[in-house]
A and B are shown apart, each in its own frame.
Chain A
Amino acid sequence: MNKIIISGFGGQGVLSLGKFISYSAIEQNLNTSWLPSYGPEMRGGTANCSVIYSHEEIAAPVIDRPDIMIAFNEPSLDKFEGSVKEGGTIIINSDIVHKKTTRKDVKFYEIPVDTLAAAINKRGANVYMLGILLPLFGGDISEESAIHAVEHVFESKPKVIPSNIECLKAGIEYMKNLMK
């Protein structure tokens, strides 16, 4: 099981990154839930979503102690870093977030995901981040399932699928190297 909070500005693809995970999880026959923030929360600092995948039935769709937290902007890091489980993971988009976590008991990854994705697809940062996540999931979600999720979400825009899949693959490679 993984409980993931993804947070950032509206328009950074935060909610769809969560959907990619849930679509991938369902293809792996995992249970999954995707809970978005909505309303005034979206207009202020952060849009966020809580995503869970599990072999078990998912009880609460709300997450008080995430295993993984991804911050696409600084308010998101401020808001959620305190809640991450001991030994959990914080990932920041270091193109936007210019500070480090204050937590000493978590794994911390700074990924310049905007720059990395821009070389392939300027709007592919969230799919690149999906690639970053897959190695962290320890094989729970296969590359193939993630590719299908990308194909599904972009069904109505088939032109963007190949470059997004390229972002996904590049993200996976980047993270594998980082974790070596």
Chain B
Amino acid sequence: MKKLWKGNEAIAEAAVAAGCRYFFGYPITPQNEIPEYMSWRLYEVGGAFIQAESEVSAINMVYGAASAGARAMTSSSSPGISLKQEGISYIAAAELPCVIVNMMRSGPGLGGIQASQGDYFQATKGGGHGDYHCIVYAPSTVQEFVDIMYNAFDVADEYRNPVMIIGDGMLGQMMEPAEIPPMKDAAEMFEKYHKNEWATCGHSDGKPRIINSLRIEPDENEEFTIRLYKKYEEIAKKETKVEEYRMDDAEYVFVAYGSVARICKAAIVELREQGIKAGLIRPITLYPYPTATIEKAAKNPNVKKFVTVEMSMGQMVEDVRLAVNGQKPVEFYGRSGGNVMMPADLVKYIKEGK
């Protein structure tokens, strides 16, 4: 049954339903409802919540719990996610499954606490050091947050790779109807993803198991990173998700994700009422990126231009340009600092080119 859920609380309950039993975090606005919710909810389902002494500790606690085969997560907002990056790189290199939520606020630095999308580069291009990627999702409604979170631990377990879900203050704070799917059995998930074969949970056959990210021998480390990138190729094939909205006859194509994509949809409705054929490509996974969908649109003779819309100074626009590869103009419309564009701003931009 659909209930009215606040974004942050919905994602927390969806994690519980997905079998997450361990949460480690440190408070920061605008995601505080996630740890707050977990702090009482996890005890009802036999899990544990720890407010760590810092973000660095929190992500390393996730590293530990994931090593033992548990479904564990952390959440934070931009400055806190920066602090977690070393740990995320280690987790990716140790090939451990976990989920990290970033409810983005405006940077750089401590910045502000209003909604922003300024962490796109950080989320998709590494964030921490070294050759690795998180699988990155960018839901745009509270229900989609729930559905993606519900599935995120399975994706993380399937590929033994960290999953990052990014939202923003707007999506975290708003309320919308959403339905939480039925509870998954944590023990069953442990079996399903064969964690008994690698996890350091004390139930092995007596042979020591080592979870490690140190590969000091160059050849060994190169072999490992090549294998990691083979995994990313497979992830790109199987897990890329994108929504195309009113693209059939679109001449003007917005590319936007998360909450901004919704603002684009409202602008598209208005533009079409005025006889202007606009459409939207909405990446749901930011890594892997739906390059093929944008390539296809770039080849479509109907399409006159692309306008990437972001709450940043222009980050995803680089991936759009790579995909369009000079075939059509790619423009950028952005707001930053925690400001949000309105549908009318986008209507004006398309009509007047500014």
Interface residues of A (CB under 8 A from B): 19, 22-23, 26, 31-36, 38-40, 58-62, 64-65
Inter-subunit contact A60/B113 (CB<8 Å): no
Choose among A22, A35, A59 the residue that contacts B173 (Cβ–Cβ < 8 A): A35
Interface centre among A34, A38, A40, A61 (most CB of B within 10 A): A61
| B292 close to A (CB within 8 Å) | no
- How many residue pairs bridge A and B at CB < 8 Å? 67
Inter-subunit contact A23/B342 (CB<8 Å): no
Given contacts A23-B4, A34-B174, contact A60 B266 (CB under 8 A): yes
The segment from B44-52, B187-195, B257-265 found at the interface with A is B257-265
Inter-subunit contact A61/B259 (CB<8 Å): yes
| B242 close to A (CB within 8 Å) | no
B316 shortest CB reach to chain A, Å: 19
Give complex CA distance A60, B270 in Å: 12
Give complex CA distance A23, B2 in Å: 11
Inter-subunit contact B343/A32 (CB<8 Å): no
Give complex CA distance A104, B77 in Å: 44
B160 shortest CB reach to chain A, Å: 36
Choose among B112, B175, B344 the residue that contacts A22 (Cβ–Cβ < 8 A): B175
| B30 close to A (CB within 8 Å) | yes
Inter-subunit contact A36/B269 (CB<8 Å): no
Inter-subunit contact B169/A38 (CB<8 Å): yes
Inter-subunit contact A61/B262 (CB<8 Å): yes
Closest to B171 in A: A61
Inter-subunit contact A59/B265 (CB<8 Å): yes
Closest to B6 in A: A34
A64 shortest CB reach to chain B, Å: 4
Complex interface: chain A residues within 8 A of B340 (CB): 62
| B86 close to A (CB within 8 Å) | no
Give complex CA distance A59, B267 in Å: 9
Complex interface: chain B residues within 8 A of A60 (CB): 262-263, 265-266, 342-343
Choose among B112, B174, B259, B266 the residue that contacts A36 (Cβ–Cβ < 8 A): B174
Complex interface: chain A residues within 8 A of B319 (CB): none
| B176 close to A (CB within 8 Å) | yes
B170 shortest CB reach to chain A, Å: 7
Complex interface: chain B residues within 8 A of A32 (CB): 4, 176-177
Task: Give 23 pairs: A residue, B residue, CB < 8 Å, sorted on A.
Answer: A19-B175, A26-B3, A31-B177, A32-B176, A32-B177, A34-B174, A35-B170, A35-B174, A38-B173, A39-B169, A58-B176, A58-B262, A59-B262, A59-B263, A60-B265, A60-B342, A61-B170, A61-B176, A62-B340, A62-B342, A64-B342, A64-B343, A65-B344
